[in-house]
């Protein structure tokens, strides 16, 4: 049963349109459960009404005609209650409604299951049987599981279908919802990133010249065939002949009509060779995947493998791999990595849209640092179909509009100019001193990780770099940078910012930050080997970095070192010993370095409760709220499904921060916030109330944070903090603070609050 379920879901996922997806569902369910009728009704958006969209068993002409209010009939009752209804004699139920068009009077047994996606009712899946009997547990469990799995496929197909119909002149403005990753509005051309080695992720694209594209495809097939022939010859010497025959089968598949002719047909229909290949490979794999025999089904993997092989050759010929990046590129992908983002020239990058991830993913953080709007966790994004489309990205609300109408464009134009006006107003703030109305200086530093950030930070109005994520230069290389290479990077930064301070964080890889040349494959990477755990286990990596940092500061003395992911005092002590060791080593080599201030990041609940013991051992504390929130609330910072539960204003987060700030102050040290929360205007009010000493925020956040500092005295902020602490709901706390921003004349910042 599980296999049948999986196959249906896979087929639905591959459907080109909603109508096709629904037809597949009703056909397969009727067949697999041997029921007399299977139908799908979908909810009309904005109305409490269901429309019969697909059926096997009821009269085909009733499709699209039968419309039911939620208050009507048994199907309406399933929708109204959002619960399963299983009846032996449907006609005897008080809610039974006879609908003549369907011819359903003949059916007695009724099983209706709601289809729900992200708490929203999408439709109702119905099975009916002539006999008067209750559907048994197996039937209802099967349909129940299927409905749950189909929900996202249906919603995905709905969007895909809409996109297809966009070719017509009139369309409603479809948007795909994700979460805000970085504020701002951008309009540009979709530039889809796909995995080089995965045929399933290849997007559709119009070919420049159909004949050239066909030739390119034929050449790739020839190359793949001769490669297989070579392999066959090489293995023929060692393998039994039956095994070697497998290669003949592969070569035949490569030369088969199903693959050759179908791909060429798809190219002629207007898709480029890799996209056309993806389509025909998918068609061939479907045939195999439908087989009951497990051995034959596995052949689908062989075909996909062959597809990847041909794809690789296609990428080596023509301009398959290298594409021109459009001028206003909206970078779109299933999972965009920090490196992919960094590779787009900043002048060309208009926005980022990622199917996975959330506002605290590193890609979102980087986008904010670059001042580029980003939408994360857009799970219903039909990635493969978007390349080259016009898209409008609303980074405030996390919405992506595909081929937006002139009306939507002009509405967003208006918002964009309002935003530009606000930034003009804000620009003047950036260079004012960060002093509260009652005269408290709360320095604002900038977060960085790329040299571009450092250059930009010079004119940002910041008082230095509060967090430099050293892993970024490690991520864009193909091997660990050596001491000299690191020295050059750090020296440049320290020189550019001197005499202002620069806080360099030691390598924090693991979690969602992977180094291609140092793979850490774990089931649960955020609770695994990351940050300080890796560097303490690899003192040679740690010492190289520490030596490079200390050397870079010689004569400038503006370096501070920050240790990530600390969970216990022993990690602090071991790290401090290594800093001492690096310093002694340099001393021996006659390098006149000094021991810099060393600080600890509080990112883990255990560090919150050990704050005094930790703070006593170091020079300063910096709270990494991005991780702290994830670990306190048990909400993966990259998981779009739970992004709505990631609340910086959760009372537990606020209490933890108060504990850290008070504890650090008790032992006479200073504490700053360097997570994204520090750039959220509403949160800044609370942090001021808590007595924070400094803030480190992304470049774009500096003016608005300074505006808040200028507008709220410590007493005013303390009062609002006290009121907030009486509330239990994070949304209510945000509403209270937003109202106070508006009251203080900072209403323009309210939209910027969510990131």
Report the interface residues with ligand PEP, using CB under 6 A: 365, 467, 469, 508, 603, 624-627, 674-675
Beta carbon of residue 466, minimum distance to ligand PEP (angstroms, whole number): 10
Q: How many CB atoms lie within 10 A of CB 42?
A: 20
Contact 724, 686 (CB under 8 A): yes
CB of 338 to Mg ion, least distance (A): 14
> Taking CB within 5 to 8 Å according to partner kind, which of Mg ion, ligand PEP, none is near residue 313?
none
351 CB contacts (<8 Å, ≥6 apart)? 184, 186, 188, 330, 331, 372, 373, 374, 375, 391, 393, 395
Q: Which does 674 bind (CB under 5 to 8 A by kind): Mg ion, ligand PEP, none?
A: ligand PEP
Helix (H, G, I), strand (E, B) or coil at 395: coil
CA-wise closest residue to 45 among 217, 228, 177: 177
* 614: partner contacted, choices ligand PEP, Mg ion, none (Cβ within 5-8 A by kind): none
| Contact call for residues 242 and 272 (beta carbons, < 8 A) | no
* Cβ-contact 590, 551 below 8 angstroms: no
Q: At what angle do helices 294-316 and 210-236 cross, to 10 degrees?
A: 120
Distance CA 337, CA 322 (A): 18
Choosing among ligand PEP, Mg ion, none, which partner's interface includes residue 72 (Cβ < 5 to 8 Å by kind)? none
Task: Give the one entry of ligand PEP, Mg ion, none that residue 636 binds, where binding means its C-beta sits below a cut-off of 5 to 8 angstroms depending on kind.
Answer: none
Contact 175, 185 (CB under 8 A): no
Question: Could you tell which of Mg ion, ligand PEP, none binds residue 76, using a CB distance below 5 to 8 A set by kind?
Answer: none
Cα atoms in the 13 Å half-sphere on the side-chain side of 22: 25
Provide the mask over 15-54, with x wherever binding to Mg ion is found by CB under 5 A and - wherever it is not.
----------------------------------------
| Residue whose beta carbon is closest to Mg ion | 627
Q: Of these partners, ligand PEP, Mg ion, none, which one is at the site of residue 625 (CB under 5 to 8 Å by kind)?
A: ligand PEP
Helix, strand or coil for residue 359?
A: coil
Residue 193 CB, nearest approach to ligand PEP (Å): 22
Instruction: Indicate the pairing of strand 444-448 with strand 179-182.
Output: unpaired
Query: Nearest 5°: CA angle at 546, between 545 and 548?
Result: 65
- Least separation in angstroms between residue 383's CB and Mg ion is 28
622 contact partners, CB below 8 Å, separation of at least 6: 466, 467, 503, 562, 599, 600, 601, 602, 671, 672, 673, 674, 696
Binds 358: which of Mg ion, ligand PEP, none (CB < 5-8 Å by kind) = none
For the chain, state the CA radius of gyration: 30
Is the Cβ of residue 213 or residue 627 nearer to Mg ion in the bound state? 627
Q: Tell me which of Mg ion, ligand PEP, none is bound by residue 300, counting a contact when its beta carbon lies within the kind-specific cut-off of 5 to 8 angstroms.
A: none
Report the nearest approach of Mg ion to the CB of residue 526 (Å).
10
Q: Which is nearer to Mg ion, 289 or 508 (CB)?
A: 508
* Shortest separation between residue 4's beta carbon and ligand PEP, angstroms: 43
User: Which C-beta is closer to ligand PEP: that of 483 or that of 597?
Assistant: 597
Q: For Mg ion, which stretch binds (CB under 5 A), given 125-133, 430-438, 619-627, 724-732?
A: 619-627
Closest residue by beta carbon to ligand PEP = 624
* Backbone φ and ψ of 98, nearest 5°: -80, 125
Residue closer to ligand PEP by CB (options 603, 693) is 603
Dist. CA 462–CA 672, nearest whole Å: 14
Is 362 annotated as catalytic?
Answer: yes
Q: Given CA atoms 275, 278, 284, 290 in this order, what sign does their dihedral have?
A: negative
Residues numbered 592 to 611 that lie near Mg ion (CB under 5 A) are 603
Could you say whether residue 627 binds Mg ion (CB under 5 A)? Answer: yes
Q: Is 538 a catalytic residue?
A: no
Cβ(373)–Cβ(393) below 8 Å? yes
* Nearest to ligand PEP of 181, 188 (CB atom): 181
Q: Please state the closest distance from residue 673 (CB atom) to ligand PEP, in A.
A: 8
| Number of C-beta neighbours around residue 318 at 10 A | 20
CB of 38 to ligand PEP, least distance (A): 48
- Asked whether the beta carbons of 116 and 82 are under 8 A apart, the reply is yes
Distance of closest approach, residue 675 Cβ to Mg ion, in angstroms: 7
Active-site choice (117, 362, 650, 716): 362
Q: In the complex, what is the shortest distance from the CB of residue 418 to Mg ion, in angstroms, rounded to a whole number? A: 34
Nearer to ligand PEP, 124 or 702 (CB): 702
96 versus 518: smaller Cβ distance to ligand PEP: 518
Give the nearer residue to Mg ion in terms of CB position, either 58 or 602. Answer: 602
Please say which residue, 394 or 603, places its beta carbon nearer to ligand PEP. Answer: 603
> Which one of 624, 679, 681, 701 is in contact with Mg ion (CB under 5 A)?
624
Strand, helix or coil for residue 521? coil
Per DSSP bridges, beta strands 390-394 and 185-192 are antiparallel
Contact partner at residue 114 from ligand PEP, Mg ion, none, CB < 5 to 8 Å by partner kind: none
- Residue 722: exposed, middle, or buried by beta-carbon count in 10 A (0-12, 13-18, 19+)? exposed
Q: Which is nearer to ligand PEP, 506 or 626 (CB)?
A: 626
Near Mg ion by CB under 5 A, which window of 72-80, 307-315, 538-546, 620-628? 620-628
Number of residues engaging Mg ion in binding (CB under 5 A) = 3
Q: Which member of 266, 647, 674, 716 is catalytic?
A: 674
| Cβ neighbourhood burial of 267 (10 Å; 0-12, 13-18, 19+) | buried
Look at strands 694-697 and 444-448 and give their pairing.
parallel
Active site residues: 362, 674
Q: What does the binding site for Mg ion look like in residue numbers (CB under 5 A)?
A: 603, 624, 627
């Amino acid at each position: 049963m599980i296999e049948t379920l999986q196959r249906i879901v896979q087929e639905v996922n591959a459907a080109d349109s909603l109508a096709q997806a629904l037809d597949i569902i009703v056909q397969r369910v009727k067949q697999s459960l041997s029921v007399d009728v299977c139908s799908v009704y979908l909810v009309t958006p904005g109305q409490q009404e269901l429309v019969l969209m697909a059926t096997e068993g009821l009269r085909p002409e009733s499709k699209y005609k039968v419309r039911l209010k939620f208050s009507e009939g048994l199907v309406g009752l399933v929708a109204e209650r959002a619960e399963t209804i299983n009846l032996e004699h449907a006609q005897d139920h008080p809610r039974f409604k006879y609908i003549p068009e369907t011819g359903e009077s003949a059916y007695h047994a009724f099983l209706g299951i709601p289809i729900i996606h992200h708490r929203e009712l999408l439709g109702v899946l119905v099975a009916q049987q002539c006999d008067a009997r209750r559907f048994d547990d197996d039937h209802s469990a099967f349909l129940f599981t299927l409905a749950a799995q189909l929900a996202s496929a249906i919603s995905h197909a709905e969007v895909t279908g809409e996109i297809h119909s966009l070719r017509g002149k009139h369309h409603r403005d479809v948007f795909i919802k994700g979460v805000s990753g970085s504020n701002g509005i951008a309009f540009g051309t979709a530039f889809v990133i796909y995995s080089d080695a995965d045929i399933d992720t290849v997007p559709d694209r119009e070919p420049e010249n159909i004949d050239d594209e066909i030739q390119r495809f034929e050449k790739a097939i020839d190359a793949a065939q001769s490669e297989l022939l070579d392999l066959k010859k090489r293995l023929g010497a060692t393998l039994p002949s039956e095994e070697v025959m497998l290669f003949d089968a592969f070569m035949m598949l490569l030369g088969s009509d199903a693959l050759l002719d179908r791909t060429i047909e798809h190219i002629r229909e207007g898709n480029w060779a890799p996209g056309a290949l993806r389509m025909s490979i998918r068609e061939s794999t479907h045939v195999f995947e439908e087989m009951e025999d497990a051995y034959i089904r596995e052949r689908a993997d062989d075909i996909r493998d062959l597809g990847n092989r041909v794809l690789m050759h296609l990428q080596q010929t023509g301009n398959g791999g290298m594409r021109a990046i459009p001028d206003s590129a909206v970078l779109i992908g299933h999972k965009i990595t920090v490196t992919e983002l960094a590779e787009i020239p900043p002048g060309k990058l208009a926005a980022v849209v990622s199917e996975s991830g959330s506002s605290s993913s590193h890609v979102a953080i980087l986008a904010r640092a670059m001042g580029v709007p980003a939408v994360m966790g857009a799970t219903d994004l039909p990635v493969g179909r978007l390349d080259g489309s016009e898209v409008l990205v609303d980074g405030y609300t996390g919405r992506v509009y595909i081929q937006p109408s002139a009306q939507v464009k002009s509405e967003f134009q208006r918002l964009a100019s309002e935003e530009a006006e606000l930034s003009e107003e804000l620009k003047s703030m950036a260079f004012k001193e960060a002093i509260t109305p009652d005269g408290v200086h709360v320095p604002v530093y900038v977060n960085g990780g790329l040299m571009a950030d450092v250059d930009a930070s010079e004119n940002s109005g910041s008082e230095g770099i509060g967090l430099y994520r050293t892993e970024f230069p490690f991520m864009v290389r193909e091997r660990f940078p050596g001491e000299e290479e690191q020295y050059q990077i750090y020296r440049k930064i320290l020189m550019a910012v001197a005499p202002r301070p620069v806080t360099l964080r030691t390598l924090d890889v693991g979690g969602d930050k992977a180094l291609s040349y140092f793979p850490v494959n774990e089931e649960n990477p955020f609770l695994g080997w990351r940050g300080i755990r890796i560097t303490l286990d690899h003192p040679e990596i740690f010492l190289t970095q520490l030596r490079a940092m200390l050397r870079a500061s010689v004569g400038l003395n503006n370096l501070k070192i920050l240790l990530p992911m600390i969970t216990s005092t022993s990690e602090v002590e071991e790290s401090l010993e290594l800093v001492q060791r690096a310093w002694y080593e340099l001393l021996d080599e006659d390098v006149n370095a000094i021991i810099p201030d060393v600080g600890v990041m509080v990112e883990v609940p255990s560090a919150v409760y050990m704050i005094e013991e930790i703070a006593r051992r170091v020079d300063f504390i910096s709270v990494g709220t991005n991780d702290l929130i994830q670990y306190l609330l048990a909400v993966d910072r990259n998981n779009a499904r739970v992004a709505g539960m990631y609340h910086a204003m959760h009372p537990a987060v606020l209490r933890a921060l108060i504990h850290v700030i008070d504890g650090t102050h008790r032992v006479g040290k200073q504490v700053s916030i360097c997570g994204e929360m520090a750039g959220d205007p509403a949160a800044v009010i609370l942090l001021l109330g808590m007595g924070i000493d400094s803030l480190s925020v992304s470049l774009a956040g500096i003016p608005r944070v300074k505006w808040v500092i200028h507008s709220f005295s410590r007493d005013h902020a303390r009062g609002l903090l006290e009121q907030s602490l009486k509330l239990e709901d994070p949304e209510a706390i945000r509403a209270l603070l937003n109202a106070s921003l508006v009251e203080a004349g900072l209403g323009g910042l309210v939209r910027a609050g969510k990131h």
